[in-house]
Chain A
């Protein structure tokens, strides 16, 4: 009575799957995009006074000339020394006169998030007013420019990471921004160590082109 159902020939299934596989191999790429995210300064308004008076000690001028030579705060420097210099500039550990003014600041963190803060989550301390001014020539190569950007970002990231590890026993990168508490912690740390890197408008540095 029971009629046996005819069996489907599965022999060509492999061929079909191979075909699909090869299609996906050809049309897709595997590279994930990585890079350094930076914020450009907004275009100044017409009536805005562009000459903002900044205390000289609060500015570290990083120059990259057309032969990709680096000059930091008036002295020629190797690229690998820039990170330490930047970290010193942003922290001013010895309270030197020629390093930025440290301003007494209060930063609100989530209450009870760390035993090193006051119970209501307030951090009190000195925050640097320093700004790094990065200037490059039109003939500087992009590779050298990005290396310098990288060192500056590395310095700030290290400072933030150290702070985060000390207070919250966690890596700064591992803070989950989807979690509102950790998001607030991250925002607080961003205020503690600001990424104050300004890029001046392009101009010619170090001789004529």
Chain B
């Protein structure tokens, strides 16, 4: 089995072929690692994530997940779980119903077993006993936890997380980071993480790519420690939090 969970070869992404956010980008995400997609706001991090998932078209190149092409969304059992930036929990459903939805769609588990799995998954992310709670009644951190639990509902080996710790206080943010690291390690997950939180990058990311808005390319890739030691000025500016004009 190949060690690569995702292989992107010479891809281009953007709103149109003329207005690209990223071009000629190639990278590989290995099985079992926490891989960070980093960069400043509006550099195309979330768009790249959506392209990897199949929600945005790629304008050039190829993406292979687990050795096969991008999956057909909606028509087959998902091979990955996704946590969207705002959680994207269904507001008309309780947390229990949110988690039960993919299980009802893609497994033949009876209802009592689904209830058991939902309860356990919510317990896993620290939301035990919240089955009947509506997303509107949750704090930002709880909503992110619930979204992570839903992303894990179908036991994917690959999980995409879009800015899981943004907009949270430092302690909650650190708790989410620790949760991601624990889940990734214990459940042997490959995690693709979009973030610009330096704390998250240094705490849990194994390898990462840094996207650059101006050159529409991958500015640097490797372990966060290596990127921090880079002599490239724009990489230093990102990790040193130096404003562009400085």
Q: Do A and B bind each other?
A: no
Q: Which residues from chain A sit less than 8 Å from chain B, CB to CB? A: none
